[in-house]
A and B are shown apart, each in its own frame.
Chain A
Amino acid sequence: MKRKIILGVLLFIVAAAIVGYAIVFKSRGDIVQDKPDAAITAKALITAFEKDTAIASKQYIEKVVEVSGNVKKIDTAGAVVLGEEGSLSEVVVALDKKYHAKDYEKLKAGSSTVLQGICSGYQASSNDPNDLLSGLGTTVQLRSGGVKNKD
């Protein structure tokens, strides 16, 4: 009986160690495969942040967002810019280095696409003439993103 108890405790310790190890060393999964917290157009996402930053931040920051829009620019270092020609307001989607680093090869500037990533931030457009970053338009940023296959 005593031996069974010791064995049981040992098994528990080993199981706990495995679970603990898995948690600590857990690799990030592919965000693009997850069910999104929100599905929205790039234009609407930008408007949401412009209208009320506090509410939009709570609603979207650190959430998985599926965003659709027109590909304005591709940076082969690992990012896609969604936006309309003639407007400086854009959604910047940084591509997931592990799972979607080369996804930009599937895209063409001027065509529409659906991307998914985690909303990581927002840059308001400043009008301060002394600010070198002024007049760049509103920017909403996503990280760990990729092209989402919509079937």
Chain B
Amino acid sequence: MLAEAMALSAALFTIGVVGVLIRRNAIIIFMCVELMLNAVNLSFVALSRYYGADGQVFVFFVMTVAAAEAAVGLAIIISIFRHRKSVNLQNINLLRG
């Protein structure tokens, strides 16, 4: 089942990348990044079945980083929304505030 799990992981990762590219809603793009992290987690778990439990430890760290990233990223989105009244990236394309 290693090959199937890796293929599913690749497909989910690609869906995440395409989602980041075609959407303009900052929150949806952020969720697409979470989907990519999940795809990588799946390949870590599938490979840990064959190479030892270290892969599961890496998944643990990826989840921690994802939680930290979600907290900080959503706080940034909230503060952008307060300034611009929008989370559509079409309206947020300047580096100056």
Partners in one complex: no
